[in-house]
Amino acid sequence: MTKFDTTNIKGVLVPILTPVDADENIDIPKLKWMTRHVIDGGIDGILAFGSNSEFYMFSDDEMLEATQAILDEAKGQVPVYFGIGHIRTKQAIALAKRAAKLDIEAISVLQPMFIQPTETALYHHFKAIAEAVPDTKMLLYSNPGRTGYTMSDDLIVNLAHDVDNIVGIKESSGNVTKLEELVRRTQDIDFKAFAGKDTIVFPGLAIGAAGAVCSTANMYTELVCGIYDKFQAGDLAGALADQFKLNPIRNSQDAASFPAATKDMANLMGMDVGPSVLPTEATTGPVLEKMKQAMRDGGYLK
């Protein structure tokens, strides 16, 4: 049984967009505005520097400064998480130690991208990071679509049972069976599994997930949070209706270059978060028109 209080690790978490100016510097005042925007929309937690936050574009110093700005604006109203995506174990540990000094709920650590370690090596990687910050909670972040490989259920379940401060996972494959198995096989411990794909928030909750991490919650905060809130209140029909309203909008993003679509939609809605960091460029042409149409159909764009 974990010694950590995981009461607040639940609900809809947003990998908050990182606004930038024309020189690609993080726009701190706008980031604070974004923080207030999602909190006012009902978000349950904020993930700083997840995949849609473009963590791979910023230095450790930039990410830590921006996270402190988020914490300053959030003022404890919602938990704040910090994403780590370094490939090298030593660098991930160094960043984890710095992040642990902030008033964060937990760190979220992505499996190493580009390379493909063995499962034994991955076990050692995650365990070493967690043990370097023994008083800080840690979520695993499984994203096979971005990293090119899948972490086995056995690996995740073993880490969950063996390492006290590994208390959850964001599982972004979109595979409901995998998410369900992780929930089933960690019932004996306090381990929080989150759906990492916006289109399966409702199915995830139905099989016992603690919540979901959704990039669309940057723009459609009330809609996405409505899935979770209505489900918890027993309004299953209402929760499913919100999921069905969200899905065409989220699915329209798939043809765009990752991660441009989220900022594109935010800017279309007048949120003025600046461009994606180069070499990612804004969506254009038929793909953009499809996104706009989905937003119009959902009532979010005239």
Residue from 30, 81, 137, 141 carrying the catalytic annotation: 141
Rg (CA), the chain: 18
Task: Verify whether residue 101 is a known catalytic residue.
Answer: no
DSSP codes of every residue in 217-234: GGTSHHHHHHHHHHHHTT
- The answer to whether 45 touches 8, Cβ cutoff 8 Å, is yes
| Binding residue positions | 213
SS3 2: coil
In eight-state DSSP terms, residue 193 is E
Find the DSSP H helices in the chain. 28-40, 60-74, 89-99, 119-132, 144-147, 153-162, 176-185, 201-206, 221-232, 236-251, 260-268, 285-297
| Binding residue positions for pyruvate | 213
Residue from 10, 30, 137, 170 carrying the catalytic annotation: 170
What sign for the dihedral angle of Cα 196, 81, 46, 272?
Answer: negative
Burial (0-12, 13-18, 19+ Cβ within 10 Å), 138? buried
- The answer to whether 219 touches 250, Cβ cutoff 8 Å, is no
CA distances (Å), origin 89, targets 85, 94, 177, 225: 10, 9, 30, 34
Task: Verify whether residue 170 is a known catalytic residue.
Answer: yes
SS3 167: strand
- The answer to whether 38 touches 16, Cβ cutoff 8 Å, is yes
Give the whole-angstrom CA distance, residue 198 versus residue 159.
25
Q: Hey, which residues are catalytic here? A: 141, 170
